[in-house]
Structure 1
């Protein structure tokens, strides 16, 4: 496949065999790939102008196409703050901007539903806060980004089209906590510590659980690494891990599930990061404390979370 997630929080990118000329795009360390489709020969109607007079101007492209959707923690971030580092990376790599627009200037609702968007919950577009960028490098290399932000989660859709020749460039998407990523991401221990002290709680929103399961997904999670560093550096601090669910199902069952998920996070912090058990406790709130409407897929997704709540040390 053309694009693949590289689980390299340290910023390391691994080369692909047979690669001729690759672009390395960096996303924040807490980014996660939610969808990917790669086709050797397909077509894509790339927007090259705003929706106007009942039509969306497009350039019809054919070739090797990869489509990806990414989710990024975006507490306090706008779509521009997410897009800007990616836009600069593309410019540095020699891509030229063909078209760029923001929400209403794109055509609002009409643009959003006139262009290709991967389905929810993998990709979500807030009609009041989204941005689109189309770039090109030569005649056979085009790439578009659609970025939006809602419910403290950023969404990035990337569509890359090449002419399909053997020496066509590939795009790597890697994780990075470098300044090129989004600011104030939870993968930054200093950012997490600052928000814990100032706000008293942080949503650990890069965690993954199987549907209906209390088992924390395999692999590393940037928020857990940052939280562990915070607690190990300050042994007098204590944190309650509080699980939350959406409103599907009964209250008792959801409270039980949310507490088991919080307990799973607690065990991971103890076993994988060496955090003393005495600094942690696990609780569950079920659906009693939503942060988004439960009437939509994106709202329910946001409500299924685990938060770290700073406890009084007195």
Structure 2
């Protein structure tokens, strides 16, 4: 059986009530920026006439982001199940929009977004929702940069700097979705939790959940091999970038062999520098996304 993880987010809103928000299968929490006392400008309408209407809320502010393997899913397909869940839990949708009706560029840069690489927003491909339940407010922002999707949730509990009941994240086993499901469906997947020092080829200490999943997948599927392919942004000469991307792919291969017991003959490592970008290198966000290592499925 292929082990595929999904995350279930449990938001406890009071001593007698709990709400369960189930994220897409394979979601990985990227960041948690929680302030015990802060303010948040909750958008209440689209950007128009040179301004963005907001309601400023003070209290405990939780800023959370996730990355998912979205495949061919649209932003609406990412948002709709989350919207249904918060409505079922008693939230009233205050405002909802897609990129163009939100105000495009102006809305994107007029509202609060967790900095990259923890959150990515494509100017023409995002959706936003704000909702209230009593004094509590939350917003959801989703976007895509295929094959990845991004989810941001900001929740404010006003009136007190004391922590509400804790946010609990549980890992479960699911039969569909996740990193290895995306690998089978698309033939390749980004190993998006890996960390390298800037300009270096040494892989961080980890542990990295993506490598554990890859090793488990190879164990469960003995007729498969993988090519690990390194990618860079377009800073510098091509030869230098190919060297760096190859070195990083080789470092990932070595970690799978040495730490996870994968047979060496089931893994290849290559680097192609900046020749296959995910997006434009014209912005820091784009360059960050283009620096990556992918696993490519090879079936004997």
TM bracket (short chain): 0.7 to 0.9
The unaligned stretches of length 5 or more in structure 2 are none
Matches within 5 A, 1:287-298: 287-298=274-285
Q: What is the deviation of 1:287?
A: 2.2
Q: What is the deviation of 1:270?
A: 2.5
> 1:264: which partner in 2?
251
Deviations 1:24-55 (A, max 9, x none): 54434644444443222222221122233443
Asked if the contact 1:11/1:174 (under 8 Å) is kept, the reply is: yes
Query: 2:137 pairs with 128, 136, 142, which one?
Result: 142
> 1:88: which partner in 2?
84
Separation in structure 1 between the aligned mates of residue 217 and residue 29 of structure 2, nearest angstrom: 26
Count of aligned residue pairs for this structure pair: 293
Q: What is the deviation of 1:288?
A: 2.9
What SS class does the counterpart of residue 295 from structure 1 fall into? coil
> 1:232: which partner in 2?
219
Separation in structure 1 between the aligned mates of residue 198 and residue 230 of structure 2, nearest angstrom: 14
> 1:71: which partner in 2?
67
Q: Do structure 1's residue 155 and structure 2's residue 143 form an aligned pair? A: no
> 2:233: which partner in 1?
246
Q: What is the deviation of 1:117?
A: 2.2
1:109–1:243 CA distance, 2 compared to 1 (3 A): closer
Asked if the contact 2:230/2:293 (under 8 Å) is kept, the reply is: yes
What SS class does the counterpart of residue 289 from structure 1 fall into? coil
Matches within 5 A, 1:290-309: 290-309=277-296
> 1:192: which partner in 2?
183
The unaligned stretches of length 5 or more in structure 1 are 1-7
1:63–1:311 CA distance, 2 compared to 1 (3 A): closer
What SS class does the counterpart of residue 253 from structure 1 fall into? helix
Separation in structure 2 between the aligned mates of residue 258 and residue 167 of structure 1, nearest angstrom: 44
CA RMSD between the two structures: 3.2
Q: What is the TM-score of this pair, normalised by structure 1?
A: 0.78
Matches within 5 A, 1:212-231: 212-217=199-204, 218-222=206-210, 224-231=211-218
Separation in structure 2 between the aligned mates of residue 247 and residue 85 of structure 1, nearest angstrom: 37
Asked if the contact 1:241/1:307 (under 8 Å) is kept, the reply is: yes
Asked if the contact 1:98/1:136 (under 8 Å) is kept, the reply is: yes
Asked if the contact 2:128/2:140 (under 8 Å) is kept, the reply is: yes
